[in-house]
Amino acid sequence: MFAGGAVGRAIAPAGASTGSGEALDLRDGGTAFGGYDVTKAVENVVDPIADAVIGRDGANQADIDGIMIALDGTPAKTKLGGNAILAVSMATAHAAAAAAGKPLYRHLGGDGANLLPLPQIQIFGGGAHAGRRVDIQDFLIVCPAANNFAQALDWTAEVYRHAGILMKEAGTLQGVADEGGWWPAFTTNEQALEMLVRAIERAGFRPGEQVAIALDIAASEFGRDGVYTLGLESKKLDSQGMIDMLTGWIGRYPIISIEDPLAEDDAAGFAAFTAAVGDRIQVVGDDFLVTEAARIHAAARQGAANTVLIKPNQRGTLTEPLAAWEAAKEVGFAGIVSARSGETEDVTIVHLAIGWGVGQLKVGSFARSERMAKWNEAIRIEEAMGHTARFAGDGYFGRSKR
């Protein structure tokens, strides 16, 4: 709360397929609530963090974040918890926007902030989000040819609905996965791609032109030290084997974006994959880059990836992901602001995507209120902007220069 009475509130999310370089999501451990309770993190907010930030100018986000980073003093925020620090950081931004009498995206991006992101929306869940029923974590779509954000959601809703009908007909529908996408019972990973193309067609769209496919392989979940174990197909691949498999898929399906195609410890694989396809598709680093400016600079030097996934809780403040986005722009990478598998009704990331002008937003599927809250927030913002709103379309995809 600010002296003038302006209030900000925020909730930190959590991930299931976390990268090893992420800020710590501090939990209590022990037996109560399976060890997942956050009493310690809450105590850290109301005690040491409050003591350190009360009386400072909340409009100076970098100052508040800097104080908390120094107070914690560890690289992964293990002392106070990245979740404790991020919630305060985001609440500070909301309070500052309220004090200024502006929506958060305008407070962050100024009065000219009018870029609505291209949404990347999950149709099937997999990996750690669906009991590892398929190895690949996210089968998503994008609608670059839509006229505006709301229409991109309309198109996605139709594809999602038709995918559910097709799966029911094929007997492969098992429910809904962690991020709201359909929980599939496929026998191969490629079956998911085939069905996704059919769902796009059944919904009345031209695959690749109007609606295209994006994947999050989340390869750190099943790959380490250059060995990738695909459980569904009982296959073990090396780095080049993964690259060949994915390149084959890119040839056969309208795929325009692949996230974490290789594991976080496989920078050479990332570089080889980016060299092979980075001029045609977006190669996204999630676990590989963990929203960190220094890793983005290093990746750019190696030619590894051309796009960064931006998850504020991988770092634990708002200042650090903003620095990561600045680094991305400096090296010519694109960006995607992203939610986590463990989400809440908090909609801060929508404002970050628009306020920072990132151009892409990934929030999981088109179901469950923690996802819909974010899509709805973006629709409200697009409506409020009226004719000044600009839809990113495919104008902000990552592409490597030849």
| 1: exposed, middle or buried (Cβ count in 10 Å: 0-12, 13-18, 19+) | middle
- Is 15 a binding residue for ligand PGA by CB under 6 A? The answer is yes
The contacts of residue 197 (CB under 8 Å, 6+ apart) are 207, 213, 253, 254
CB atoms within 10 A of CB 90: 26
Cα–Cα distance, 301 to 68 (Å, whole number):
31
Task: Indicate which residue of 22, 158, 179, 259 is catalytic.
Answer: 179
Question: Closest distance between ligand PGA and the C-beta of residue 367, in Å?
Answer: 16
CA distance 307 to 286: 9
Instruction: State the nearest-atom distance from the C-beta of 233 to ligand PGA, in Å.
Output: 21
The binder of 15, among Zn ion, ligand PGA, none, by C-beta within 5 to 8 A per type, is: ligand PGA
Q: Which does 106 bind (CB under 5 to 8 A by kind): ligand PGA, Zn ion, none?
A: none
* The one catalytic residue among 221, 264, 311, 320: 311
Region of 51-59, 113-121, 229-237, 335-343 interacting with ligand PGA (CB under 6 A): 335-343
Amino acid identity, residue 369? Answer: S
Q: What is the DSSP string of 56-70?
A: S-TT-HHHHHHHHHH
Nearer to ligand PGA among residue 96 and residue 339 (C-beta): 339
Using CB under 6 A as the binding rule, the residues of this chain from 162 to 201 that contact ligand PGA are none
In this chain, which of 341, 360, 365, 400 binds ligand PGA, going by CB under 6 A? 341
Report the candidate in 116, 54, 28 with the shortest Cα–Cα distance to residue 384. 116
Alpha-carbon dihedral angle through residues 25, 29, 35, 39, given to the nearest 10 degrees: -70
How many CA atoms within 13 Å lie on the side-chain side of 194? 8
Judged by CB, which is closer to ligand PGA: 61, or 314? 314
Q: Does residue 102 have an active-site annotation?
A: no
Q: Does the footprint of ligand PGA cover residue 18 (CB under 6 A)?
A: yes
Question: Can you tell me which of 8, 10, 12, 17 binds ligand PGA, judged by CB under 6 A?
Answer: 17
Residue 32 structure tokens:
């109560």
Residues that bind ligand PGA (CB under 6 A): 15-18, 137, 216, 218, 286, 338, 340-341
Catalytic residues: 179, 311
Residues that bind Zn ion (CB under 5 A): 216, 259, 286
